[in-house]
Structure 1
Amino acid sequence: MRKLPNNLTIESTSGVFKPSKLPIHESAIKHVTGKAEYIDDMPEWPNELHIATGQSTEAHADIVSINLDKVRAHPGVIDVIVQADIPGEVDVSPVLSGDLLLAGDFVHFIGQSIFAVAATSLRAAKQAVELAEIVYKPREATLHPKQSLDRQEFVLPTHTIQNGDPKEAMKTAPHTIKSDIYIKGQEHFYLEGQISVAIPNEDGGVLVYASSQHPAEVQKLVAKVLDLPVAQILVEVRRMGGGFGGKESQAAVFSCMAAVFAIRNRRPVKYRVPRQDDMVQTGKRHDFWNSYEVGFSKEGEIISAEYDMVGKCGCTADLSDGVVDRAMFHADNAYHLPNARISGYRGKTHTVSSTAFRGFGGPKGVLLAEAVIEEIAATVGKDPLDVRKINCYQDGKSTTPYGQEVDENVLLPLIEELEASSNYRARREAINAFNKQSPFLKKGLALTPVKFGISFTSKHLNQGGALVHVYTDGSVHVSHGGTEMGQGLYTKVGQIVAKTFGIDFTRVNVGSTRTDKVPNASPTAASAGTDLNGMAALDAVMTIKGRLQEFAMEHFGIAADDFAIEDDVVKLGSGGNAEEMSFPEFVKLAYMNRVSLSSTGFYKTPKIGYDRKAAKGRPFLYYSNGAAVSEVIVDTFTGEYKVTQVDILHDVGDSINSDIDIGQIEGAFVQGMGWLTSEELSWDEKGRITTNSPANYKIPTSADVPEKFTVKLFERPNSEESVYRSKAVGEPPLMLGISVWCALKDACAAVCDHTFSPPLAVPATPEAVYYSLQAAEMFKQQSISKQSVSEQKA
């Protein structure tokens, strides 16, 4: 129990949020019935304008000339702007610089906006932009992260983390391996595309409805572009139809464009981006080219590791500094690296600027760690799970390369619990027996863990705000800085408020996220939405509850300990003299006695800090952990495969809403599986993205979800003082999908009896699996040939 002023307490013991019936997602029924209102569902204004932009057809070029006469003359066109027409700043970068609302004298990627059109319909705007006459002078383009490394072209300086002496340790290692792995990115493919509506107001400012994970940033950038004070811009976000990081920084561009036209024309403006334009003009998960050298013992224990990680950042920095840092922080994943050097390069390429995606750079680091384990296991001839357990963080092996202690002993117990509950050993034996007698079908099995740090790696973002009002009928309104994109944040914050007050969940209404209610809010990202905003809401509730307690003590003449609110009933006094009042009755009485029933709340994450110069510190408050066992079956003739069974055990601390958490785990796993199997991003030799629609970019469907899919929660409260001892759940489970990639690799290796670890591309499409199977078969034939020659010589 945590003590607060006036002897009020917050329960933190296990099982706090385990009522007989958990609240469902606050918009679940609205989603299913179609009553949930997204921006494109809002009634259009009679004089509303629609936007389209003219896009670059060159990856890297000077603009020699632009003729927009035919564009302006097209029927329905009301306004056309170029960079010079922007009233304020042209740069709309989230952190550094380089992201331009409209290009000027040169372009940096195919699809970059050069000019914009506002018309009476989207069709008219789209038709008009095709009439532009633009002449380019092309320059040489860099398109691959390996090219950026070779040419030393970076958007930001390189950063290195090091502990021990990896080079000396490498010299003494009994075994070493040296290789590289190219890990492709991922398209966000949110169901609701990028969209914004801007409405001018009578004071010269603008109201913006945005589909954004970062309303405060939208507000700030719209103000910069319009050359107005931030206070004249109001941004509201009720919900998004998915975000996954794609609406953290890059959604602001569309709001800025809509706002410019709204102010210029004094008319409401909608900018709804068609899917194909969205997929061309917005950033993806970063590709990474990772090279590694690892030294290890005969048992497979890692002695030394040297990693070079090159992120494909695109043409500008965007959020790449944090993304590459996060990849570096997770290159150890669940494994102790006693001697390590991890270098992260921010590769500049003439492609759309890569951006945040669920997990930030973490999945690229975790996959590198797991790929290394697979290679080590093949070298020493052991089951990869045994190599994982040898290297796993545990007592005596608990310091990360960046100096943070993994002081919560969760990983190994969690792995071993899943190993037992999934019958891993028995299934391994059965699969080995199947593979020996099956020449054409091969099965694979893998158990992979994840250790994911929770906190923004930029320290200043680890803060949250909230505003709570209690009305005289006992109903409660909550505003906070977090945004709802389907993940259940509003529901969890509502539960936290209800639990802390001691009232029924149905009394609590969580309102739209608005910049006039909670200012300067951090983005809803880094899995920190509940941690930050839940704690801020809790802080506001405790302030109001403290006032109510003081009023009760004075009005009823009771001691502090004789005041309590439980199950909507206010208890006043103790023993036989105790009075009881309903919560609405008591609140109305407090109001009549002039007690303030409103409060702001604030929270900042404690203990964290990272010294970038020393490359040491504590970037994370705690770690979320999990493990997954995936089983696959592969057709060796075609490379086609099916995921037949998945078992997951995931650590969410003391769950606030287990139904929502399990749903998040299931969804994240499938999205991670999609990244590693079917979702293949491709660009042509000119830098044009060729996977630009649902026809050529394949996300997982319900048919890809295994019939046997079990998710269980690891029952252990967070050892850190998070909100009600819960843990973040949004991002970490995505990396459990890596178990599918490892299982496919295991099935391919079965062709040569696991004497060789055949390379497997990321994503592991059926074609990639086929090539991996061929590599295994070739190794097998070469081994047979060598053995035959050896026998002949003998």
Structure 2
Amino acid sequence: TVETRRMGGAFGGKETQGAPWACLAALATYFLGCAVKLRLARSDDFKLTGKRHPFYNQYHVGFDENGLIEGADITVNGFCGYSPDLSDAIVDRAMFHADNAYYYPAARIQGNRCKVNTVSHTAFRGFGGPQGMIMGELIMDDIAAKLGKDPLEIRKLNLYRPGRDITPYHQTVEQHILKDMITQLELSGDYWSRKQHIKQFNQSSSIIKKGLAMTPVKYGISFTVQHLNQAGALVHVYSDGSIHLNHGGTEMGQGLNTKIAQIVAHGFGINFDAVSISATRTDKVPNTSPTAASSGTDLNGMAALNAVDTIKKRMIDFVSQHFTVPNESIVFKDNKITHDKGEISFKELANLAYMNRISLSSTGYYATPKIHYDRAKGEGRPFFYYAHGVAMSEVEVDILTGENTVTRVDILHDVGSSINPALDIGQIEGAFIQGMGWLTTEDLQWNNKGELTSFGPANYKIPAIGDTPSEFNVNLYNSANPETTVFRSKAVGEPPFMLSFSVWSAIRNAVSSITDYQYTAPLDTPTTPERVLGAIERTQQWLEERK
């Protein structure tokens, strides 16, 4: 029996990389006959556990004189380490997302799983999606540079839209809200005026260069391994009106338990504090899927709501019989149940139903509908729906050192009908900062023996509070999920991670200003000062060759 009250860490490492340490702890427990805690030193944890897959990607793209893409040939190469781990599905998702938000009329997307002499890499927030999606943004920036246009114009031109809505894997994009989201952020973030001011600033500033970029996100929600798209829950209503809930998801600081307690409370029309959630246990809810793929609330929330609906139907049928009132007149709201002949508190009804031998306990189950995928043909519907977002980032780059700072960020993100806006905004803020770190400072270095050499805070830089943009505006886009999810909400765990692409594009934009935006140098990620300085030197060399 496995019990998990809460986890201090998440982001993919919990999926497979915890297994060796669990086995070691279990062996020690077996031989010592007592409880054992195994905790790795930070440097050992760095060296021995896998990270997000490094990728080496290439593209060829054809486009017309306006910048409209006519064909794309993309190859993504995931560096798996010494064993496959979850690499098959991770590279799959990178391939699924190589389009990001853009329509490729003709596309060939190839994914390779590369064995290398490092630790075995594994899942991390986005699960291959970021490594694929960044190709879409690279292509947009490069087309804009080639044509001498603003990258936002090229992005808007190539967005999925009615009539241009079939993905390379043959799923139809049915919701087209990114154009409206971009328009809203253009206005609220004053994009075009700031672009002009930044150009003027860069012309008069010889050392500090500013950059501005806006990038969209279209992220598919579902496990790409179909059988994982299921969940269970267990709900008990006690005779005093209190409710016990157990579900198959794990709480790791993302607010999953809060959201699911809200769903149950709303379903019964009672206060949130009447619902208690116990630790996730395999003897309460069996065969649980990982709390991953941004699907914790989608799956477990629907399973819990299914259990609530089962109990609620029994209570409604009992009220109808006991008080001789029609079912349709019975309403659960504000801790009471009203009907044609009066009202009764939820607590009183729970006790009355118990006294009349009505079952007040139920399991719930949910399996995501509609999804299917034929891997041999490379087509199907691997995702139930898409989550969207748009981010605009402004940066400053020191062209003498390559150091860069994010000064302002504006985000508009689509979470459907939000169950808990405070939790959702927290997830968006955290995901963006985490993505910003991945793209700018978190530089993993291995020696030629495959040993990690950046294994501590002295040589691996994660974002600190001082790296947070001084102006950080996050707003939720008001749009219900067109698919039947729990209360028409949308997943929020992974999609906002990719909003950080706007930082990378803004840095490229700042460096490009050295040539008055005539040339945009290649810039691999993470954009450490060393890499940015290399891009600056290539840009200056290009300028010298043109003189």
Smaller-chain TM-score bracket: over 0.9
SS of aligned partner of 1:271: coil
Alignment-derived partner of residue 266 in structure 1: 33
Alignment-derived partner of residue 532 in structure 2: 769
Task: Find 1:382's aligned residue among 149, 165, 170.
Answer: 149
Task: Find 1:598's aligned residue among 339, 361, 379.
Answer: 361
Matched, 1:742 2:509: no
Alignment-derived partner of residue 199 in structure 2: 432
Matched, 1:421 2:184: no
- Distance in 1 (alpha carbons) for counterparts of 2:454 and 2:45: 12
Alignment-derived partner of residue 293 in structure 2: 526
Shift of 1:416: 1.5
Shift of 1:581: 1.5
**Matched residue type, 1:766:** P
Matched, 1:312 2:79: yes
1:379-778 aligned at under 5 Å gives the runs 379-571=146-338, 573-574=339-340, 578-778=341-541
Q: Deviations over 1:18-58 (max 9, x none)?
A: xxxxxxxxxxxxxxxxxxxxxxxxxxxxxxxxxxxxxxxxx
Long gaps (5+) in structure 2: none
1:79-98 aligned at under 5 Å gives the runs none
**Matched residue type, 1:465:** G
1:226-265 aligned at under 5 Å gives the runs 234-265=1-32
1:169-184 aligned at under 5 Å gives the runs none
SS of aligned partner of 2:366: strand
> Is contact 1:304–1:338 with CA below 8 Å preserved after alignment?
yes
SS of aligned partner of 2:343: strand
**Matched residue type, 1:326:** R
Matched, 1:331 2:98: yes
- Distance in 2 (alpha carbons) for counterparts of 1:706 and 1:399: 37
> Is contact 1:479–1:517 with CA below 8 Å preserved after alignment?
yes
- Distance in 2 (alpha carbons) for counterparts of 1:464 and 1:273: 32
Shift of 1:686: 1.5
**Matched residue type, 1:426:** S
Q: Deviations over 1:725-767 (max 9, x none)?
A: 0000000000001100000000000011111111112000111
**Matched residue type, 2:288:** A
**Matched residue type, 1:601:** G
**Matched residue type, 1:714:** Y
SS of aligned partner of 1:270: coil
**Matched residue type, 1:595:** I
> Is contact 2:2–2:281 with CA below 8 Å preserved after alignment?
yes
Shift of 1:246: 0.9
SS of aligned partner of 2:38: strand
Alignment-derived partner of residue 20 in structure 1: none
- Distance in 1 (alpha carbons) for counterparts of 2:153 and 2:249: 41
- Distance in 2 (alpha carbons) for counterparts of 1:474 and 1:379: 66
- Distance in 2 (alpha carbons) for counterparts of 1:251 and 1:344: 27
**Matched residue type, 1:236:** E
Q: Deviations over 1:298-335 (max 9, x none)?
A: 11111111111110011111111110000000000000
Shift of 1:263: 2.0
- Distance in 2 (alpha carbons) for counterparts of 1:482 and 1:253: 22
- Distance in 1 (alpha carbons) for counterparts of 2:404 and 2:525: 15
Shift of 1:539: 0.1
**Matched residue type, 1:454:** I
**Matched residue type, 1:383:** D
Shift of 1:264: 3.0
**Matched residue type, 2:55:** F
Structure 2 length normalisation: TM-score? 0.99
- Distance in 1 (alpha carbons) for counterparts of 2:336 and 2:464: 47
- Distance in 1 (alpha carbons) for counterparts of 2:190 and 2:177: 20
Shift of 1:718: 0.3
> Is contact 2:393–2:410 with CA below 8 Å preserved after alignment?
yes
- Distance in 1 (alpha carbons) for counterparts of 2:106 and 2:314: 54
How many pairs align? 547
**Matched residue type, 1:635:** D
- Distance in 2 (alpha carbons) for counterparts of 1:440 and 1:269: 56
- Distance in 2 (alpha carbons) for counterparts of 1:345 and 1:317: 12
> Is contact 2:117–2:449 with CA below 8 Å preserved after alignment?
no
- Distance in 1 (alpha carbons) for counterparts of 2:454 and 2:448: 13
**Matched residue type, 2:448:** E
**Matched residue type, 2:116:** T
Shift of 1:710: 0.2
Shift of 1:242: 2.3
Choose between structure 1 and 2 for higher RCO, CA contacts under 8 A separated by at least 6 residues.
2
4+ residue runs over 4 A deviation: none
**Matched residue type, 1:238:** R
Identical-pair percentage: 56
- Distance in 2 (alpha carbons) for counterparts of 1:259 and 1:558: 58
Task: Find 2:128's aligned residue among 361, 364, 380.
Answer: 361
- Distance in 2 (alpha carbons) for counterparts of 1:280 and 1:701: 22
**Matched residue type, 1:651:** D
SS of aligned partner of 2:26: helix
Shift of 1:630: 0.2
- Distance in 2 (alpha carbons) for counterparts of 1:428 and 1:269: 58
Q: Deviations over 1:685-712 (max 9, x none)?
A: 2211011112211100011111110000
> Is contact 1:393–1:412 with CA below 8 Å preserved after alignment?
no
- Distance in 2 (alpha carbons) for counterparts of 1:651 and 1:270: 41
SS of aligned partner of 2:402: coil
Q: Deviations over 1:342-375 (max 9, x none)?
A: 0000111121111000000000111111111111
- Distance in 1 (alpha carbons) for counterparts of 2:473 and 2:394: 12
Q: Deviations over 1:492-518 (max 9, x none)?
A: 000000001111101011111111110
- Distance in 2 (alpha carbons) for counterparts of 1:245 and 1:636: 36
SS of aligned partner of 2:2: strand
Shift of 1:633: 1.0
RMSD over aligned Cα, in angstroms? 0.9
- Distance in 1 (alpha carbons) for counterparts of 2:500 and 2:91: 20
Shift of 1:554: 1.4
Alignment-derived partner of residue 98 in structure 1: none
> Is contact 1:394–1:411 with CA below 8 Å preserved after alignment?
no
Shift of 1:253: 2.1
**Matched residue type, 2:213:** A
**Matched residue type, 2:292:** A
- Distance in 2 (alpha carbons) for counterparts of 1:593 and 1:270: 48
SS of aligned partner of 2:328: helix
- Distance in 2 (alpha carbons) for counterparts of 1:554 and 1:263: 56
**Matched residue type, 1:594:** R
Q: Deviations over 1:592-615 (max 9, x none)?
A: 111111100000000000011110
- Distance in 2 (alpha carbons) for counterparts of 1:553 and 1:476: 22
SS of aligned partner of 1:272: coil
SS of aligned partner of 2:220: strand
